[in-house]
Amino acid sequence: MKTWIEISREALVYNLSQFRRLVSDGVKIMGVIKANAYGHGLTEVAEIISEKVDWLGVDSFAEALKLRQAAVKKPILVLGYTELKDLKEAVKNNISLTVYNKETILKLGKIPIHNPNLNPKIHIKIETGTSRQGVLENEFFDFIKFVKQFPSIEIQGLSTHYANIEDTTDSSFAMEQLATFSRAAEILKKEGVTPLRHTACSAATILFPETRFEMIRLGISMYGLWSSKETKAVAKNKNLELDLKPALTWKTIVAQIKNLPAGTPVGYGLSEHTSRDSKIAILPVGYYDGYDRKLGNVGNVLIRGKRCKVLGRVCMNMIIVDVTDLEKVELEDEVVLLGRQGREEITAEDLAGKIGTINYEVVTRINPYILRHIV
């Protein structure tokens, strides 16, 4: 408990309500909780949102099974790859699978069905321009014919993912992808299949109503974070009223306080020296916990509502911060690494900017062993 995460139930529910207001009543919402719910805690977030969403999206069979073991009854879709050895168990636990390989179809088609409700349920992913998972458009018709050889397999959904909808204000490539997806959906329709169509991530949901179809996949913005500054800018230009509340706060405590004279080296490599007679605080958190090493010498934390600079390199399990300007600081004072304290706030975007990455990575890389508390 030297470092912990607080997840705001109110913020998650509020963000979901914002998107429910944005999309029509007929559009289902998938809450994407892959990668430990973007660092927020898989089972913790599932407990909060299960009654507020229609589906849950995870990356792996292991994540899906963990939810089933936690008595989560909501429909679950594995968005990533499921190994052939796990297919039978996935079907047994009524877990829907994203597929794009004939080998997966062949294995699923041979699974004995003892309960008509526990048949293989698949969402076919079509490759439209991201060059990741998915059936290529010129192979799609052949793939559908192959799937239809196995009557036990239910084509439950059709999906794709946009390559360039978050990081640009130019939507032309995304619209090309949408056209490719629509052609695939027409092929399925002609084959007598009307699946649940879903293409929209958070950014697409916000900016392009035509991408929503029957379901949206709500990821980063469910947690109160914007997909990118471009997404936020375009939304503002379109006069879209969307208020997002970050759900995660990361905290630690002060473990030691000491005084150092001016010119004293601080931390590994002597990368920084005190510029004045200083008071420092040692915090029991480091890069093992997910506090990025690149935040050394440039990061800030919040103590008693004020920003305190990180001094020297981030260590594996500790950081050192300058508390000279605080009127008062005491052992085991609460420290905010990410989130709000008083009138000050350190955002995931702040940290991402300092280490040259995106807000997704900042929160997702927080060590999953750190306890998450719902507040």
Q: Around Cβ 191, how many Cβ atoms within 10 Å?
A: 14
Clarify whether 162 is annotated catalytic: no
- 70: CB partners within 8 A, 6+ apart: 43, 46, 47
Over residues 215-258, the pLDDT tens digits come to 999 999 999 999 999 999 889 888 888 999 999 999 999 999 99
Query: Of residues 2, 14, 34, 294, which has the active-site annotation?
Result: 34
Clarify whether 268 is annotated catalytic: yes
The reported pLDDT for the residue numbered 167 is 80
With a cut of 50, list the residues of the chain below it in pLDDT: none
The reported pLDDT for the residue numbered 369 is 96
The reported pLDDT for the residue numbered 241 is 84
Q: 175, 205, 237 — which closes off a domain?
A: 237
Model confidence, pTM:
0.95
The reported pLDDT for the residue numbered 239 is 87
Query: Of residues 102, 268, 279, 369, which has the active-site annotation?
Result: 268
The reported pLDDT for the residue numbered 20 is 95
The reported pLDDT for the residue numbered 238 is 87
| Residues of the domain holding 189 | 9-237
Statement to judge: residues 177 and 267 lie in one domain: no
The reported pLDDT for the residue numbered 263 is 97
The reported pLDDT for the residue numbered 219 is 98
Domain count, the chain: 2
| 4, part of any domain | no
The reported pLDDT for the residue numbered 209 is 95
Statement to judge: residues 230 and 256 lie in one domain: no
- Decide if 151 contacts 125 (C-beta within 8 A): no
Statement to judge: residues 204 and 162 lie in one domain: yes
| 1, part of any domain | no
Q: 218, 237, 256 — which closes off a domain?
A: 237
